[in-house]
Amino acid sequence: MSVPSSKKLPLILGAELDKLLTLPMTWLTLMGTFILHLVLAAAFTSIGLQGAAGTQRLLNIGFSSMGYLQAGFVMLGILAACSEYAGGQIRTTLTTMPWRGAQLFAKHLALAIISIPAAFIMVASGVLYTFIMMRDTVAVIEIDNIIKTVIGATGYLTLTTLLSSAMGAVLRRTTPALVIMLGYYYVVSPLVSDYLSSLRNYFPDTAGYYMYMPSFSDEINVLTPMQGAGISMLWTLFFITVAIVFYCKRDA
């Protein structure tokens, strides 16, 4: 009996959520990332406990571990995409859910549902810890600004997770995907941005930076948080589209 089109996506989404939530590596990756984030937040806060601090300084210190935190979400996205290929489970998935485009889209949607609260908790915990430890040195606190940056950082980590998952779906192998994504974020982008200063704001990681770290008024050639979010979303949607096209056209 065929399934009505209106019911396909909810059924597939439920199945993808169940797979991700029962995948041990999902929880191990999130737990490991959270613990490392708290350790780094404590270390950076300890170093920064000197002098008076305003909201911007508090955020700078609270987000000092973001560069390391994003590595955990890169791993989460890649593991979510590649886990089914390791043991050949992808054949079972495609047998029970032959609607390839809808299935991969639902996988990314399920990953976003998991990533958003996880990223929010981690980002907020780092900023909260910094605030608690520096509360005696903070002269003025702008709560609205802190909330906006926490939401922006949550969005950036979620988009990074989805982009990484799309790359994993294209390559279908965990190690090559990790090498490419981590190599880009930690080696290629920092090196290339020095030579392409006019274009670096359009890189997904640089654009994403402006989602949660507003620029100073005297800086030039910078993006607003909305512009950064728009560029990051375009990169993510592009890679997801490429992943779906590849997924639909080649054998499992």
Q: What does the alpha-carbon distance between residue 187 and residue 203 come to, in Å, rounded to a whole number? A: 13
* Least reliable range by pLDDT among 37-46, 124-133, 136-145, 222-231: 136-145
Q: Model-level pTM? A: 0.88
Q: Are 73 and 164 in contact, with CB atoms under 8 Å apart?
A: yes
Q: Are 181 and 167 in contact, with CB atoms under 8 Å apart?
A: yes
Say whether pLDDT at 135 is over 90: no
Angle between helices 100-134 and 55-62 (to 10 degrees): 120
Q: Are 170 and 82 in contact, with CB atoms under 8 Å apart?
A: no
Q: What does the alpha-carbon distance between residue 214 and residue 217 come to, in Å, rounded to a whole number? A: 9
Q: What does the alpha-carbon distance between residue 63 and residue 146 come to, in Å, rounded to a whole number? A: 11
Q: What does the alpha-carbon distance between residue 20 and residue 24 come to, in Å, rounded to a whole number? A: 8
Q: Are 127 and 150 in contact, with CB atoms under 8 Å apart?
A: yes
Q: How many domains does the chain fold into? A: 1
| pLDDT digit string, tens, across residues 168-218 | 999 989 999 999 999 999 999 988 877 877 788 899 999 999 998 865 444
Say whether pLDDT at 219 is over 50: yes
Helix, coil or strand: residue 138: strand
> What confidence score (pLDDT) does residue 1 get?
39
Buried/exposed code over 133-171 (b: 16+ C-beta within 10 A; e: otherwise): bbeeeeeeeeeeebeebbbbbbbbbbbbbbbbbbbbbbb
Comparing 49 with 116, the larger pLDDT belongs to: 116
- Name which of 62, 55, 158 is nearest 108 in CA terms: 158
Say whether pLDDT at 228 is over 70: yes
CA angle 128, 132, 134 (to 5 degrees): 115
Q: Are 112 and 158 in contact, with CB atoms under 8 Å apart?
A: yes
Helix, coil or strand: residue 53: strand
Mean pLDDT of the chain: 84
> What confidence score (pLDDT) does residue 78 get?
96
Parent domain of 206: 5-249
Buried/exposed code over 46-82 (b: 16+ C-beta within 10 A; e: otherwise): eebeeeebebebbbebbbbbbeebbbbbbbbbbbbbb
| pLDDT digit string, tens, across residues 8-31 | 778 888 888 988 998 899 999 999
Say whether pLDDT at 157 is over 90: yes
